[in-house]
C-alpha cells in the first residue's frame, strides 16, 4: 500500500519498473525512427521498433507532440553528456567534434519536427529552444576549444554560430535525394581545419 505523506497530500505512487523501462526504450526507439523516417513516422513503426504495443505508446505519450517533446529533451541531454565522453574517448579533439556533430545532426530532425508538432504553442517552443541553447552551446564550445588547443582547427569560430550554421544546413531535408545535409555539414567541418602545412 502506498504510504500517505504526513501532510495528507496525494501520495506519489511509485511507478512500476516495467513502465519506467518501456518509457526509456520508447524514447530511444522513437529517436532512431525519427532519423530514418522523420517525425511523422507511423506510430506502428515506433512501437515495432521498441518492441511494445501501440497502447503502450499512447499511455506514455497521449499525443504525438508529447512524444516529440520527450524525445527532444532526451536527445538534448544525451547530446550534452556525449560531448565530454567523446572528448575523452576519441583519438583527437577534432574526431570527437566530428562524432558529436553527427549526433547533433540526428537530433536536429527531432528539433525541426518539434516546430510542426507544437504549432499551436509557440511559447512552449521558445522554452524548449532556450533550454537547448543553454545546454548545448557550452558543450560544443568545449569541443571547439579542445580542437583549437590541439592545433587541429583555426580559432575564431563561435559555438553558437557553428551550431546555427549546421542547423540551417539541415532544414528542408524532406526526402529530396539531391540534397544531403550531412555531406555539407562535413564540408563545413572540413573548413574549420587548420590549413595543412605544405
Partner DNA sequence: TTACGATACGGAGCAGTGTTCCGCTTTGTC
Partner DNA sequence: GACAAAGCGGAACACTGCTCCGTATCGTAA
CA–CA dist 52, 58 (Å, integer): 11
Binds 176: which of DNA, a copy of itself, none (CB < 5-8 Å by kind): a copy of itself
Is 63 a residue that touches DNA (CB under 7 A)? yes
How distant, in Å, are the alpha carbons of 18, 89, 90, 102 from that of 125?
Answer: 31, 34, 34, 24
CA–CA dist 27, 33 (Å, integer): 10
CA–CA dist 91, 147 (Å, integer): 11
Of 62-70, 95-103, 129-137, 143-151, which part binds DNA (CB under 7 A)? 62-70
Q: Contact 121/63 with Cβ under 8 angstroms? A: no
Is 2 a residue that touches DNA (CB under 7 A)? yes
Binds 135: which of DNA, a copy of itself, none (CB < 5-8 Å by kind): none
Q: Contact 82/107 with Cβ under 8 angstroms? A: no
Rule CB under 8 A: which residues touch a copy of itself?
A: 119-120, 122, 172, 174-176
**Per-residue contact string for residues 16-45; x = within reach of DNA by CB under 7 A:** xxxx--x-----------------xxxxx-
Please list, in sequence order, all residues whose beta carbon lies within 8 angstroms of the beta carbon of residue 77, skipping any fewer than 6 positions away: 135
For 65, the grid coordinates are 507532440
Binds 174: which of a copy of itself, DNA, none (CB < 5-8 Å by kind): a copy of itself
Q: Which of 187, 147, 145 is nearest to 166 (CA)?
A: 187
The single residue among 6, 8, 55, 156 that binds DNA, judged by CB under 7 A, is: 55
Name which of 33 and 87 has its Cβ closer to DNA. Answer: 33
Is 14 a residue that touches DNA (CB under 7 A)? yes
Instruction: List residues binding DNA (CB under 7 A).
Output: 1-3, 13-19, 22, 40-44, 51-56, 58-60, 62-64
Amino acid at each position: 500500500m502506498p504510504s500517505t505523506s504526513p501532510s495528507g497530500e496525494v501520495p506519489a505512487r511509485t511507478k512500476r519498473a516495467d513502465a519506467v523501462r518501456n518509457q526509456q526504450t520508447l524514447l530511444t526507439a522513437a529517436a532512431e525512427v525519427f532519423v530514418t523516417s522523420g517525425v511523422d513516422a507511423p506510430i506502428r513503426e515506433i512501437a515495432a521498433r521498441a518492441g511494445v504495443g501501440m497502447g503502450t505508446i499512447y499511455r506514455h505519450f497521449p499525443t504525438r507532440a508529447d512524444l516529440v517533446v520527450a524525445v527532444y529533451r532526451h536527445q538534448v541531454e544525451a547530446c550534452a553528456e556525449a560531448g565530454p565522453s567523446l572528448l575523452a574517448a576519441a583519438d583527437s579533439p577534432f574526431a570527437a567534434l566530428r562524432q558529436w556533430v553527427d549526433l547533433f545532426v540526428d537530433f536536429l530532425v527531432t528539433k525541426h519536427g518539434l516546430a510542426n508538432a507544437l504549432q499551436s504553442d509557440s511559447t512552449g517552443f521558445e522554452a524548449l529552444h532556450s533550454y537547448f541553447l543553454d545546454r548545448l552551446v557550452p558543450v560544443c564550445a568545449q569541443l571547439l576549444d579542445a580542437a583549437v588547443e590541439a592545433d587541429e582547427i583555426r580559432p575564431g569560430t563561435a559555438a553558437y554560430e557553428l551550431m546555427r550554421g549546421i542547423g540551417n544546413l539541415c532544414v528542408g531535408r524532406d526526402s529530396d535525394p539531391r540534397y544531403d545535409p550531412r555531406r555539407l555539414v562535413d564540408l563545413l567541418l572540413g573548413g574549420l581545419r587548420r590549413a595543412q602545412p605544405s
